[in-house]
Structure 1
């Protein structure tokens, strides 16, 4: 295995952005704006009356459209909660959870209610005022050149390999699994997460036609599982990542699997890739590319594939009308979890392929509902191992932030606001 000579200098010696080091600029102070607080409070009270959920005030007063077992938002510091919501919209709502302005015993249920009613949460006339609090993604976070992209990757994936190992399964796959088989009394599949992750990877490899002797390019190494399984089929794999920490662990895992002689791991931007390949794969990496760079991403794959080559892509997707409405928005997920990210729609992928490449989709499957279960298992494990997370040096706010992120994502897939697709594409 080898690494690109330009790889390590960009981020290896930068301090990892660990929230436990106490850097939470402005988070403790919700600010002061009585008018926006009152508007946000009125909107929230009106929203919960239309939904099967409850709003519980500190004095025990309950309002909303749900019964006694419905999901509930328990207000701890109402003025701070509604001030944040009024000033920053849903970013402020998430920050209120992070600092404990509100709490819920059923966080996923609360977020599912909002996801199912996303179109009606804000009255239509007020939607036109979105620009007053949504200024769009910071220019430096929008994926552009390799250095900007690597900084975005560094802020999430280089938090700590140890952190991810605490809640991921043995496959170390950080993407939707694909479950099959019986479902238990709790409504979850009885199959292990590792088995479901291997089925997912194999599904992508099959769509890309990976077999013994294939020359394979992977865009987005993760921690190496897809490259390892491709190499176990007899393929020779070049896999690209922008995360130095991921690359190091992927090399270790490839050595342990006995396939390191068949895998080259490069810390390199996909646009700098060279060579010719029979197959390419990319599993939930396109979400970090950015709308403006989708054409270049697919053109790169098209350029690198040999005639008759195939591309196996797995991507989170959202409805096309929601993509059009929110593609320039700055969200809680951008600010705290995935800077610069944007989820495509199926239509956007198809249109980009048609306009900019010779690639065409000839196979597809949706595994979106399985992502809800995948996230449920991750969150359950994360919370069960909270003491170990803290032992790594992460603080209370980080733990609540990560809890909100996993619950937020689970709710999105459970309500089908988000989906996840595997695509098989061919190059003539």
Structure 2
């Protein structure tokens, strides 16, 4: 049970407290107190093994190699942090940042070492308690045809103007592909649009898209892939469940003079009909959910013409971590992508083989490129905080999105996450 509002004057306006009840409130009661003590011990245990200097109000410090210059995590309200983590695990950790219970001047620097040790932060004997103590995914966020549009709207229909503040002019919201990206390279903002075109063009090449190609895009975004495909002479049908994205993508297509070549529908991928020479889907499978992965691939197979190819860009994680966390309700689910589920290369290969005649024939990893893409978005977002506020998004929302972008970047920098461009083909050429 949560207290109505924390007794921390000045932290939240009444309106913000009403909008963010689980951030403005702390768990109370005897069970919360017991869990709080356990969480405080676990956090100190975990932080002793990461290259982060954790600083407490009483002067205590923890972290590995604290005598070196390390990213600083400043715990301003230890009891609040412990109560949140004890009650909700990593959801509570993120909410503690949103509430200001801990701060830092290097959020990615703090989160990356924790992400690197994600599988070992909790001692192995205690990991069996995960399902007993952590929140479960609510059935209302299952990606059924009845729920999916609502899940998508909670993120993608926030505001086109919001996304325009931190995306480049292509309005592409997925990993770019930079030229000659070596370790340590930090591409400038001016390289991002070209890198997004490079990513899109590579996917279109993998799918064999050219003059006369009948192309299906599952997940429209804001239309840049449609524009690039139409410029090649393809006829494109693109489907999305975001009304905001559909509106802007249609406008961009019309402005470019491709309305006769591109059709953008508000439609669930499961309801698409027709036959297509190629299917392209960019970072959309993350919104499908494990339960529906077979349907996703069955749909692609059903729609592909004989000899057709599917090019998919997918965020992945290690298979063992996917299995361990697949039923866990996370901070990202609660605040950013309801119903989302990351997959693994092993799972994608297995589910496509088990349920379809499709075969994974090509794979290209580009996780370091996503880390740099996210860095550029994060720097742009934080540099335009005032403009985000002018759109009506409050202080808690801005801290939430800063955490989301940094949390994602840390996942790719640590190697815990990766992103792949994949090609699926049907070796026998059958069309089911």
Q: Same fold judged by TM-score > 0.5?
A: yes
Aligned to 2:223: 224
1:164 to 1:20, Cα distance in 2 relative to 1, 3 A:
farther
Which segment is superposed worse, 352-361 or 282-291?
A: 352-361
What do residues 244-295 of structure 1 show as CA deviations (whole Å, max 9, x unaligned)?
Answer: 0100000111112221221000000011101111111000000000111111
Q: Is the 8 A contact 2:17 2:24 kept in 1?
A: no
Q: What residue is the counterpart of 2:421 in the other structure? A: 422
Q: Secondary structure at the match of 1:84?
A: helix
Residues 132-176 of structure 1: per-residue CA shift (max 9 Å, x gap): 33232100101112x300000000000000000000011111100
Q: Please list, as runs of the form range in 1=range in 2, the aligned pairs for 1:17-416 lying within 5 A after superposition.
A: 22-32=18-28, 33-65=32-64, 66-145=66-145, 147-181=146-180, 187-190=185-188, 192-416=191-415
For normalisation by structure 1, the TM-score amounts to 0.92
* Aligned residue pairs, count: 408
Deviations 1:179-232 (A, max 9, x none): 113769x73125610000000001111111000010000000000011110001
How many angstroms apart in 2 are the aligned matches of 1:82 and 1:182? 40
Deviations 1:80-103 (A, max 9, x none): 111101111110000000010000
- C-alpha RMSD over aligned residues: 1.6
Following TM superposition, where does structure 1 have runs of at least 4 consecutive aligned residues deviating by more than 6 angstroms? Answer: none
Contact 1:112 1:415 in 2 (8 A): yes
Moved more, 32-41 or 405-414: 32-41
Distance 1:40 1:68 in 2: 26
1:138 and 1:68 map into 2 onto residues whose CA distance is 43
Describe the superposition over 1:95-126 as per-residue Cα deviations: whole angstroms up to 9, x where unpaired. Answer: 00001000011111111111111122111222
More moved, 188-197 vs 59-68: 59-68
Rounded Cα–Cα distance in structure 1 between residues aligned with 2:114 and 2:386: 30
CA contact (8 A) 1:180 1:189 kept: no
Paired with 1:176 and 1:412, the residues of 2 have a C-alpha distance of 13
**What's the CA shift for 1:363?**
2.0
Query: Aligned equivalents of 1:164 and 1:384: distance in 2?
Result: 14
* Gapped regions of structure 2 (runs ≥ 5): 1-14
2:88, 2:135 within 8 Å by CA — same for their partners in 1? no
Residues 298-354 of structure 1 show CA distances to partners (whole Å, capped at 9, x for unaligned) of 111101111011111100001111111111110000000000000110011101111
Aligned to 1:260, what secondary structure does the other structure show? coil
Deviation at 1:391, TM superposition (A): 0.4
Moved more, 159-168 or 122-131: 122-131
TM-aligned CA distance change 1:21 to 1:154, over 3 Å? farther
The offset of 1:68, in angstroms, is 4.5
State the secondary structure of the residue aligned to 2:313.
Answer: strand
Deviation track 1:54-75 (CA, whole Å, cap 9, x = no partner) reads: 1111233323213342112101
Greater relative CO, 1 or 2 (CA 8 Å, sep 6+):
1
Normalization by structure 2: what TM-score? 0.92
Structure 1 unaligned regions, length at least 5: 1-18
Corresponding residue for residue 12 of structure 1: none
